[in-house]
Chain A
Amino acid sequence: ELKVEQNPLFLSMQEGKNYTIYCNYSTTSDRLYWYRQDPGKSLESLFVLLSNGAVKQEGRLMASLDTKARLSTLHITAAVHDLSATYFCAVDIGRNNNDMRFGAGTRLTVKP
């Protein structure tokens, strides 16, 4: 059975600091997604990573994918309070858009 494991599950950090969230998965896939969810809100797509070595950056967030290690990282640079949210990674192992599984989520709190 596919396992998608995120760590840490909870992360409290100071503004201005850097940190990395990890997403490990247990089966072959070259399609990985990162989503953000604010409390009580829906999920917002952040990054789509489609190949080994893919790296994408948006503002203070950078995501990468290592398909050989079955690992994706979400790196936060110089965190600001507005980044406080829950971040989910999701792995697609389907052939026809039909098998995407989410990690448990990392709840990030950025303190001033």
Chain B
Amino acid sequence: DSGVTQTPKHLITATGQRVTLRCSPRSGDLSVYWYQQSLDQGLQFLIQYYNGEERAKGNILERFSAQQFPDLHSELNLSSLELGDSALYFCASSVRASSYNEQFFGPGTRLTVL
């Protein structure tokens, strides 16, 4: 158990819908990262937040957005869902460290778009 929690574990929805995935980082971690893992794209970095502010963006679609709240939990919002958005979405967290960036991953949310 990494200490990172994600809800829900599974989500089934229809095309065109909007969903919100939630992540709580490990106690004391200030950075939250979102990843998408699919069979065809592999593990892709989406976005990072540090202490409430967006820090880095990866391959995140415009239909997707995220935020980190004052209590450091984060939400990933996916809208206008398409079949291709079906994937495992991971959240990871890390402390701010000047020398390294070991990320601890949550259990993931499996999203199925029908």
Contact = CB atoms under 8 A, between A and B. Distances in A.
Interface of A: 31, 33, 35, 41-45, 48, 50, 88, 92, 94, 96-102, 104-105
Contacts of A41: 107
29 contacts: A33-B103, A35-B105, A41-B107, A42-B2, A42-B90, A42-B105, A42-B106, A43-B92, A43-B105, A45-B102, A45-B104, A48-B102, A92-B100, A94-B101, A96-B55, A96-B96, A97-B31, A97-B48, A97-B50, A97-B55, A97-B94, A98-B31, A99-B56, A100-B101, A101-B45, A102-B42, A102-B43, A104-B42, A105-B43
A97 B96 contact: yes
B103 to A, nearest CB: 7
B43 A42 contact: no
- Please classify how large the interface on chain B is, using the bins under 10, 10 to 19, 20 to 34, 35 or more: 20 to 34
B12 interface: no
A31 B108 contact: no
Nearest to B108: A42
A104 B39 CA distance: 10
8 closest A-B pairs by CB: A98-B56, A97-B101, A43-B105, A102-B43, A42-B105, A98-B55, A42-B107, A104-B42
